[in-house]
Amino acid sequence: MRRLDTSLAAANLVVMLAAIYAVFVYVPTDKFQGIVQRIFYFHVPLAIMTFVAFGTVAVASALFLWRGGRGWDRLAHSSAEVGMLFCTLVLITGPIWAKPIWGTWWTWDARLTTTLILWLIYAGYLMLRSISGPGDQGARYAAIVGVVGAIDIPIINRSVYWWRTIHPAVLITREGGSGLGDPRMRLTLEICFLAFLLLFVWLVRIRNQSVHLRDRLEDMRRQVLAH
Amino acid sequence: MANLGFLIAAYAAVWVLLFVYLLSLSRRNSALEREIEELRALLQRRGQS
């Protein structure tokens, strides 16, 4: 296990360094937005990994409710925390890009608003977990929030098509083509996707160990009290 | 190079938050491991007496 974690950390470091090189050296500057467009190479993969993280919470929570088993619950809890980190970064990097391009840090656009709602749903999930403590009942309530909350993910994804919005469609434009004209831009985005996928897997593994340790600690506390 | 400050701010935010999260994870894991060791030692002492 330790060897796998070390290999994963090393792979993560290599791909992340490649991503930084691609973003700051390799990729050409966007003709219309200028240098600030480079924020997208981290912002978009972070947004997709947020969906992956909260999607994992929903699937693991559904499996926990259906089959039981602490493993599914631990996976849901770990993914939720990493998803919150990524979603927070999306909500920070987005406005930093928006200020020079739109002239405002924030607007109540459909995609921005639904993303903020996603953040609030899973902040609620984590608060519920922290106040309910160990035990199956709190885990079951949290699992329900984890499953229901994921309904917001397809709404965010389709929001740029369903409502009038100023948020750009980066991967596929509203007209159907790719939002990134230069092949070097697409390659850079793919490297960044891989970097954040590896980061997600690595962070969830570390967080999962932490949740596992906490469960062991609770078992031992019960043993101490029983003696 | 207009808006370079925004680019730096965005990437700095990503790295600072990731670093803080990793640090907090590492501290939490260390604290849990230490507490488990203390409880294990306590249970061993009780088992011997």
Q: Is residue B19 part of a domain?
A: yes
Instruction: Check which CATH number belongs to the domain holding A48 and give it.
Output: 1.20.120
Task: Mutate one of B3, B14, B42, B46 to test the A interface: name it (highest A CB count within 10 A).
Answer: B3
**Does B17 reside within a domain?**
yes
Q: How many domains does chain B contain in total? A: 1
Q: State pLDDT tens for residues A124-169.
A: 999 999 998 767 888 999 999 999 999 999 999 888 888 877 777 6
> Domain range holding A12?
2-226
Q: Is residue B36 part of a domain?
A: yes
Contact pairs from chain A to chain B, CB under 8 Å: 81
Region of residue B24 (phi > 0: left; psi between -120 and 50: alpha; otherwise: beta): alpha
Kindly determine whether residue B35 and residue A217, on different chains, have CB atoms separated by under 8 Å.
yes
- Is residue B3 in some structural domain? no
Whether pTM > 0.80 for this model: the answer is yes
A192 touching chain B per CB within 8 A: no
**How much is the ipTM here?**
0.88
In the numeric block, which tokens belong to residue A213? 């340790």
Structure tokens at A191: 């490297």
Calculate how close chain B gets to A24, using CA atoms only, in Å: 10
Is residue A82 within 8 A of residue A203, CB to CB? The reply is: yes
Residue B22 belongs to some domain of the structure: yes
Number of domains into which chain A is organized: 1
Closest by Cβ to A85, choosing from B10, B17, B40: B17
CA-nearest residue of chain B to A199? B18
Rg of chain B over CA atoms, in angstroms? 21
